[in-house]
Amino acid sequence: MDTITDDYNTLLQEAYEHLRQGRYRMALTSARKIHEENPEDFNSATCLAWAYLENGAPAEALELANYSVEIGGEDVNARLYRGYLLMRMSVFEGALADLDWAISKKPNLLSWAHLNKARALAGLGRYFEALEEIDKAIKIDDKENNQLIQIKKWLQITLGYGDGFLKGIFSKKRAYLKEGLLALKQKEYWFSLWCAKKILDTPSLKVEFTEAYIMQLESLYGLFQFRQARSIAEDIKLNLEGDKYFDNIYQRILKAYPKDETDTTPAIGIQKENYKTDYEINDSKLYKILSAKTYNLTENLRTDKRTYLLEFNEDTTKYVGVELVIENPFYLNKTVELDGLAVWKLNGVEVGTNQFLLTLEKEWKIVEFVQSWGTETAGFWCRGQGSVEIFLDNQNVCTRWFGIGNSDVVNFEEIKYLEEDSTKLQLPEAQLTEEKIRVEKEPIKTEALPDLLANLDKYVGLESVKQSMRDFISYLEFIRDREKSGLKTDEDISVNSIFLGNPGTGKTTIARLMGKIFKAMGLLKNGHVIEVDRTSLVGQYIGATAQMTEKVINEAIGGLLFIDEAYTLIKPDNPQDFGQEAIDILLKRMEDKKGEFVVIAAGYPDKMNSFINSNPGLKSRFTHVFNFDDYTPDELQKIFEQIAEKEDYKIVKDAEIILKKELTKLYRNRDESFGNARLVRQIFNESKIKLSKRYLNIPAEKRTKEVMSTICTTDIEASLKINTKGIVNIGIDEDNLNKALNKLNNLCGLETVKQE
């Protein structure tokens, strides 16, 4: 038995060594022999799966990888290697699911898992997250690993980090091509593909287009994206036919994806068959599913119409959406929030999961909601059997099946509920007011900079902000004057800023003024301000966040984008949250559209500091910080008086004293939710209401203009819900005071306390 075990281990190591050294045919021979002798061993199945992949048989590779996980149980290696193989085959979401599972079992140990997770994220275009994973891999590796360092450099290039350093790299004409070919040689196809697209998107690099196209085809071939590779090759064949490199890759693509067998080519892990396209309603005592239908989300967003499908066209499908209709079990009883989970699968492999929150208002009898999954480019949903499982409060309530084939097949299932009874939870759009949209189209009037600074000085308090703002503006003017004079300056004029402060400290007001100031200085074309928060940027479904964020950014071009409570974009407890996607898009556009719009992110000091430190890209792009302190009681009272004066009200002296006393109490007991100026506005509005009630209760002949505009003590007391009527001055009880002092003096020691 020991001899057999030794032989097995020797052969297994030999097969893996063949794979690492690129001896793929030899690896396949060894791996087959091992698996034939040990069919129930997941290690042999994993090794053979890898060998099949390297020998151009992805379907067999995936089948064996799935089998390895099935018999491997909780062993980390089975999921780890399947994650690697899925990453290689461009099933990136499935790879992430496996790799995350492996990492969760062995945190801080699996450098290779973090490396492959970074590759999968890069394949999805999520370069910021990929960079974080590479940093983790480098930290775990704990030694100089040239491969990891090289990949980190390439990720930094995609993100535009360290402009000065990168300018040196890409100063030569053929730099993108050189770096891309190096990545291609090292099988980092995600980056060679990025370089190829970069060249093809740059008209001035037209002389490199032939090599870029070939590099693009080689990259797609290496990623097993044969259909897309063949489509591109067909488009450019007339121009490149005869080029030996093109002819070589073209023949390999045709062999992998034959022209005349489009409809019969087996997909990864599944043979051509009639796909299951119905849906299963699972037993649930609480939740009743009335309908579950799939549709093309991209087409839905483009046309605002939903065509329900049983089967999707592999060539054109980017996002698959599922629309679900349920009866509200809490109808007319109570409003509840349910934890939801959508699990997407392709050919039996989990390719994505999304956690969501479903609100059921008690007035809603029937509720419709949607979930979706996919990527921005077709090819993720490759031919085969798809499904989505829906969980509500950890109960599997429904599974919808659909096919991915060579054409769309329309679903004509009848609706079994009354449309008028349903409440649709539609894909959220950016919540922008008509005023904001209008101001984006009509640039605000340019005001003189001295006048704008004078307006800044009129605001109550904010002394540190005022000084910081003046220093900031002076610095910007200095840099601009140096540039105009032809003097060297290594500094770009970056005005993206962080506003730190509690609610009501004037952050939004100052942001609006900054838009005007930057326009007056010529830094912005329009100077308008788009004010948003998380709900305007982050969607609930795959694909929604990108469109919402892009829409907001496009409307901010030429002006200033103000993001309130920006820290809510990051939710560390939920790695599936779409807030990170909004941040990635924002940072990319801040780089691509540098100088065309300004971003100000605002929020509580502690939470914003954690937010900025969570991502190196945030820290490098937001270079200026302004601290908005809480208003003092005197400043709060002055704000009250300004508001009153502006609206033709006045406050009597006794009411001022009570107001000052209560504001001082509130200030001393404040926390991060302290309302500041908002609190004052609230007190003022309440006082007006109390005044109006008092005014209407007096005789008509006494209803004068003076009475109508004077806020009295009772108005302030009522608005603050305090009672001073029972307060009387009863003086000091001298006898009891003397008795207490005598007791104190009889105590030993405590001389300082006695004196006080």
- Output the pLDDT for position 506: 84
Tell me the per-residue pLDDT of 159-176, one tens digit each, with 9 for 90 and over.
876 444 344 444 444 588
398, 424, 450 - which closes a domain: 424
Asked whether residue 519 is assigned to any structural domain, the reply reads yes
Q: 637 and 623, same structural domain?
A: no
424, 453, 478 - which closes a domain: 424
- Output the pLDDT for position 382: 83
Tell me the backbone φ, ψ of residue 515, rounded to 5 degrees.
-55, -45
Tell me, what CATH number does 188's domain have? 1.25.40
- Output the pLDDT for position 272: 42
- Output the pLDDT for position 264: 42
Tell me, what CATH number does 685's domain have? 1.10.8.60
- Output the pLDDT for position 743: 66
- Output the pLDDT for position 734: 59
- Which string of DSSP letters, residue by residue, matches 608-630? HHHHHHT-HHHHHH--EEEEEPP
Determine whether 291 is exposed, middle or buried from the number of CB atoms within 10 Å of its CB (0-12, 13-18, 19+).
buried
Q: 401 and 458, same structural domain?
A: no
628, 653, 670 - which closes a domain: 628
pTM to 2 decimals? 0.44
Q: 637 and 621, same structural domain?
A: no
Kind and range of the H or E element at 337? strand 336-346
Angle between helices 111-123 and 146-159 (to 10 degrees): 30
User: By three-state DSSP, how is residue 296 classified?
Assistant: strand
Tell me, what CATH number does 404's domain have? 2.60.40.10
Q: 345 and 419, same structural domain?
A: yes
* Residue showing tokens 């500041």: 676
Q: 474 and 615, same structural domain?
A: yes
- Output the pLDDT for position 482: 79
Q: 676 and 620, same structural domain?
A: no
Tell me, what CATH number does 551's domain have? 3.40.50.300
Q: How far does Cα 731 stand from its chain's mean position?
A: 64
Enumerate residue ranges in the chain where pLDDT < 50.
1-4, 162-173, 261-272, 419-422, 424-442, 723-731
Range(s) of the domain holding residue 232: 172-261
> Helical H runs in 388-525?
434-441, 449-458, 463-484, 507-520
Asked whether residue 266 is assigned to any structural domain, the reply reads no
Report the domain count for the chain: 4
Asked whether residue 533 is assigned to any structural domain, the reply reads yes
Asked whether residue 347 is assigned to any structural domain, the reply reads yes
Q: 579 and 444, same structural domain?
A: yes
Q: 683 and 591, same structural domain?
A: no
- Output the pLDDT for position 161: 64
CA 348 – CA 62 distance, rounded (Å):
10
Nearest to residue 651, comparing CAs of 720, 569, 548, 723? 720
Q: Are 401 and 279 in contact (CB under 8 A)?
A: yes
Q: 373 and 448, same structural domain?
A: no
Asked whether residue 58 is assigned to any structural domain, the reply reads no
